[in-house]
Amino acid sequence: MMMLTGKKVQIRWKRYFAGQRDRVFIGEMIKASEGWLLAEGRHYYLPKGATTPMHDAETLTIAVPREAVALVRVLPDNLNLDNLKYGVENDLIVIQLPEGEPGVVMSSDLV
């Protein structure tokens, strides 16, 4: 299991039916256990009929069951979470990383 505590992450939820809207959480991982992820940050979501994602106005602390997570992407440590650039590609919310900064994508069974 990769140590995620203190890392900036993008958590993408699983989709359970065709047409389900994309929803991700972007923030800092507080703790990762066998069954849960605890993180602080904001939800980014694509409302029905919208082409531009929206996000929570305030930061939240959330606990997410691992079984609901499709993937976790470790973001660069120097990424400014209060000034993210993001868009939509193929009905998915995509975070734009600074040029040359790799993001590490892990499936839920690896985190």
Q: Is residue 2 part of a domain?
A: no
**Structural domain total, the chain:** 1
pLDDT digits (tens, 9 = 90+) for 25-61: 999 999 988 899 999 999 988 877 777 888 889 999 9
The Cα–Cα gap between 75 and 26 comes to 9
On whether residue 31 sits in a domain, the answer given is yes
Residue at 54: amino acid letter: M
- For residue 1, being part of any structural domain is answered with no
Residue 65: the pLDDT is: 94
**Does the residue 89 lie in any domain?**
yes
Residue 92 lies in a domain: yes
In a domain, 38, yes or no: yes
Q: Which domain holds residue 88?
A: 8-110
